[in-house]
Homo-oligomer: A and B are copies of this chain.
Amino acid sequence: MNFPQHTWLLALLLATQTAAAQPVSLPGYDPAAAEAQRALEARFDTALKEADYRGWLKQWSSGPNHVGSPHNLANARDLEARLRSFGWETRIEQFEVLWPSPKTSRLELLGAKPYLARLKEPPLPGDSTSSQTEGVLPPYVIYGGDGDVTADLVYVNYGIAEDYEALARNGVDVRGKIVIARYGKGWRGLKPRLAQEHGAIGAIIYSDPRDDGYFQDLPYPDGPARNQWSVQRGSVANFALYPGDPLTPGVGATAGAKRLKLEQAGSVLKIPTLPISWGDAQPLLAALRGPVAPEDWRGALPITYRIGGDGSARVHLKVEADWGSQTLYNVIATLRGSDYPEQWVIRGNHRDGWVFGAADPLSGTTALLAEAKAIGELARQGQRPRRTLVYASWDGEEAGLLGSTEWAEQHADELRRKAVLYVNTDGNGRGFLNAGGSHALQRLINGVAADLRDPDSGVSVLERQRARARIDALAPAAKPAQKDVAKKLAAGGDVPLKALGSGSDYSPFLQHLGLATLDLGYGGQGGSSGVYHSLYDSYDYFARFVDPDFSYLPLLSQTVGRTVLRVANAPVLPQRFGDFADADAVAGYAQEIKQQADADRESARNQDELLAAGAYPAVSNPNRPLLAPVAKPAVPVIDFAPLDQAIARLQASAKRYDEALVAHGAGLSGDVRDKLNTSLQRIDQTLLVQTGLPGRPWYRNLIYAPGLATGYEVKTLPGIREALEDRRWDDLRRYIGQTATVLDAYREAIDRNTTLIEPG
């Protein structure tokens, strides 16, 4: 068990005082079924052993475990053997993917004060694995270009779109130059992609101490923050176009699959890109001249941040890879359901790390295995889940969700027929439950969170989330939306699920196949960001700084285990459609977009007036001269009526279904229930459009997508929202129509279900 004895007693006491006072319903369950389910879950909990988590994490993170490494394969086999020993059917599914291995990395500042970058992460006292060198991937990014370039250096802040607007106003452009961007804000791969689109010939990305170093906390090994020589590795593949193997978009990368040529692979970048530490970045940044960087561009190095681009700092950058392939090993374990073997609840976590990968991803993998062990024991004792469980250990997530995407593409037809839900986790921290996914499952997750005790505070996971949201809404800088949520919470409303963008293995299930999807994890009390994707994401670090009690890994197992088992055993699948239709989700997103259109129209008009009045040259400061901004295209008045009407219909239908299920759900015949479940299982697929989003057909979900210009960050109602942001008026009109159409299809499916359950 994960609770020390006294905390456990306190939790029981509090449960009597608070949770018991407000019994939380299990959606899709009648009271008797709910009681039985909760009893099962209590038995599940007793099978979770702290020693398992510690032991597995230590073993798996004892050697480098990136794609293709011997230790990764050994971990796959170890997992498979354990899963089999727990009573699961197992197999390892392989895919062959494009896999450039780093060959050469060189970076030097030329000129009067030359500097040759170290590009190395040294061993640290107290971090036992950091002295290993055999098989360790050097600092690099995967799916950047090869190149050997020498050019003037330009500092571009985070290297996101708005930074290029600021560069232009400072009269600096990056054509033919090498950019240096700091990690943070936008996703890693955006930085070289935008640099490439603006004409740069090379890109450097570094970790500024402002963002995850000494500015935040003491550097490792004295504290949890990133140290002087630590480097964040990662992928720069443009997965907002499509994730997975760059050569096989849309199909499984089996040995015989049809492949693109490398130069056709839209997700692979062209310019050489290298990630570095702040230790290596400081001499480069200190050499820059030219304009002083805008205030919000300045990091925590003891220098005056300047933009450069004036020939002050010439840099030589050389990056080369071996453009070969590697084999991925996905471990797939199945526990056949007793009643509905053709309905699958899928649960995954990746297994590959950049080096030792203790927090990311192996912590999450220990939770997955512990769940499988506990569920296996229950099955052995006769309490097999009613629906089939599929537990998956993905390979190659770090390079761009390779293992999960290839598997989802390969098994697409079967998944469309059988999948009920995909539940994802990744590296786990300590603190607050972060839950994102399909909004009709919001009540399900609130119910799970209400039934679990948070180890640090002793209150329920849900109460802790609620307290956080309400306290944050009191801060002077709180946004109106936060205050609205806090008001609803104060009145007893549910904690909203987050909408999912990308960055972990849920993406193909949610955004390509349209399955109901959840992503769960704990964090927010410090964690592994100071060693993220570095040599130092180790067992020693995890046990000192991430989760020293190993109390949040059992909690993650409890959270995911309940989620999986509640869905697997549910008499009626647990959607509540009002949570999808209403202001916390679809209706709220539409409202945001309409407000954004109004604000953009007003702001373009205001700026036009000021441009016409010559206001920008009038305020220009000769000490910090700025060019006038480029005029923004005018925003026409947009007809959102088709969308508004579809949402209004959806809200009415959702309310009718939710009320009908509460009134009549317990009394349904087995036949009706089966029909209902089959419909509920597939309903999220109505939200797809087969032609996908503009320029990225792989992404078919019209409710959730990662932003093409933001990377991980979600864009809700993406066809509409991104058309507005990019001022594509034809697309905007088209996607208002298409989005209304899929919402209507979803609503019609709801109506059919309501008809099924409403008496005669």
A: residues with CB less than 8 A from B are 209, 214-219, 223, 225, 292, 298, 300-304, 431-432, 454, 456-457, 459, 463-464, 466-468, 470-471, 474, 490, 524-526, 603, 606-607, 609-610, 613-624
Chain B residues near A624: list those with CB within 8 A: 525-526
- Cβ 8 A contact of A304, one of B217, B490, B610, B618: B217
Q: How far is the CA of A471 from the CA of B524 in the complex (A)?
A: 37
Chain B residues near A623: list those with CB within 8 A: 525-526
- Cβ 8 A contact of A467, one of B303, B463, B619: B619
Tell whether A215 pairs with B525 under 8 Å between CB atoms, given A474-B607, A619-B471. Answer: no
For residue A464, which residue of chain B has the nearest CB? B618
17 contacts between A and B (CB under 8 A): A214-B302, A214-B304, A215-B304, A216-B304, A218-B292, A300-B300, A456-B620, A456-B622, A457-B617, A463-B618, A466-B615, A467-B615, A474-B603, A474-B606, A490-B609, A525-B621, A526-B621
Q: How far is the CA of A468 from the CA of B619 in the complex (A)?
A: 6
Q: Which 3 A-B pairs have the closest CB atoms?
A: A467-B615, A467-B618, A525-B621
For residue A545, which residue of chain B has the nearest CB? B623
- Cβ 8 A contact of A618, one of B303, B457, B613: B457
Q: How far is the CA of A218 from the CA of B304 in the complex (A)?
A: 6
In the complex the two chains form, is A431's CB within 8 Å of B621's CB?
A: yes
Per assembly, the copies of the chain total 2
Chain B residues near A214: list those with CB within 8 A: 302-304
Q: How far is the CA of A614 from the CA of B470 in the complex (A)?
A: 12
Chain B residues near A463: list those with CB within 8 A: 618
Tell whether A525 pairs with B622 under 8 Å between CB atoms, given A214-B303, A304-B217, A614-B459. Answer: yes
For residue A224, which residue of chain B has the nearest CB? B623
Chain B residues near A215: list those with CB within 8 A: 298, 304
Q: How far is the CA of A292 from the CA of B530 in the complex (A)?
A: 15
In the complex the two chains form, is A610's CB within 8 Å of B470's CB?
A: yes
In the complex the two chains form, is A616's CB within 8 Å of B457's CB?
A: no
Q: How far is the CA of A464 from the CA of B526 in the complex (A)?
A: 47
CB distance from A475 to the nearest CB of B (A): 10
In the complex the two chains form, is A302's CB within 8 Å of B301's CB?
A: yes
For residue A282, which residue of chain B has the nearest CB? B302
Q: How far is the CA of A603 from the CA of B456 in the complex (A)?
A: 27
In the complex the two chains form, is A615's CB within 8 Å of B209's CB?
A: no
- Cβ 8 A contact of A620, one of B218, B457, B620: B457
Q: How far is the CA of A223 from the CA of B524 in the complex (A)?
A: 41
For residue A292, which residue of chain B has the nearest CB? B217
Q: How far is the CA of A540 from the CA of B470 in the complex (A)?
A: 55
Chain B residues near A301: list those with CB within 8 A: 302
In the complex the two chains form, is A610's CB within 8 Å of B209's CB?
A: no
Chain B residues near A300: list those with CB within 8 A: 298, 300, 302
- Cβ 8 A contact of A471, one of B219, B223, B490, B610: B610
Chain B residues near A617: list those with CB within 8 A: 457
In the complex the two chains form, is A619's CB within 8 Å of B457's CB?
A: yes
Tell whether A304 pairs with B622 under 8 Å between CB atoms, given A467-B613, A607-B474. Answer: no
For residue A487, which residue of chain B has the nearest CB? B606
Chain B residues near A622: list those with CB within 8 A: 456, 525
Q: How far is the CA of A613 from the CA of B466 in the complex (A)?
A: 11
CB distance from A602 to the nearest CB of B (A): 10
In the complex the two chains form, is B302's CB within 8 Å of A302's CB?
A: yes
A217, A607, A619, A621: residue with the most chain B Cβ atoms closer than 10 Å: A619
CB distance from A307 to the nearest CB of B (A): 13
Q: How far is the CA of A603 from the CA of B619 in the complex (A)?
A: 39
A219, A464, A622: residue with the most chain B Cβ atoms closer than 10 Å: A622
CB distance from A418 to the nearest CB of B (A): 40
CB distance from A259 to the nearest CB of B (A): 45
Q: How far is the CA of A619 from the CA of B490 in the complex (A)?
A: 16
CB distance from A180 to the nearest CB of B (A): 19
Q: How far is the CA of A606 from the CA of B459 in the complex (A)?
A: 20
Chain B residues near A302: list those with CB within 8 A: 209, 214, 300-302
CB distance from A555 to the nearest CB of B (A): 14
Chain B residues near A609: list those with CB within 8 A: 490
Q: How far is the CA of A225 from the CA of B302 in the complex (A)?
A: 13
Extra inter-chain contacts (16) besides given A456-B621, A470-B606, CB under 8 Å? A214-B302, A217-B304, A298-B300, A300-B300, A454-B618, A456-B620, A457-B620, A464-B618, A464-B619, A467-B610, A467-B616, A470-B615, A471-B615, A474-B603, A474-B607, A524-B621
Q: How far is the CA of A300 from the CA of B295 in the complex (A)?
A: 12
Chain B residues near A217: list those with CB within 8 A: 292, 304
Chain B residues near A467: list those with CB within 8 A: 610, 613-616, 618-619
CB distance from A482 to the nearest CB of B (A): 12
Chain B residues near A471: list those with CB within 8 A: 610, 615-616, 619
Chain B residues near A603: list those with CB within 8 A: 474
Q: How far is the CA of A431 from the CA of B303 in the complex (A)?
A: 26
Q: How far is the CA of A218 from the CA of B405 in the complex (A)?
A: 50
Q: How far is the CA of A621 from the CA of B214 in the complex (A)?
A: 19
Chain B residues near A466: list those with CB within 8 A: 615
Chain B residues near A292: list those with CB within 8 A: 216-218
In the complex the two chains form, is A474's CB within 8 Å of B610's CB?
A: yes
A209, A526, A610: residue with the most chain B Cβ atoms closer than 10 Å: A610
Q: How far is the CA of A490 from the CA of B605 in the complex (A)?
A: 12
Chain B residues near A454: list those with CB within 8 A: 618
Chain B residues near A616: list those with CB within 8 A: 467, 471
Chain B residues near A303: list those with CB within 8 A: 214
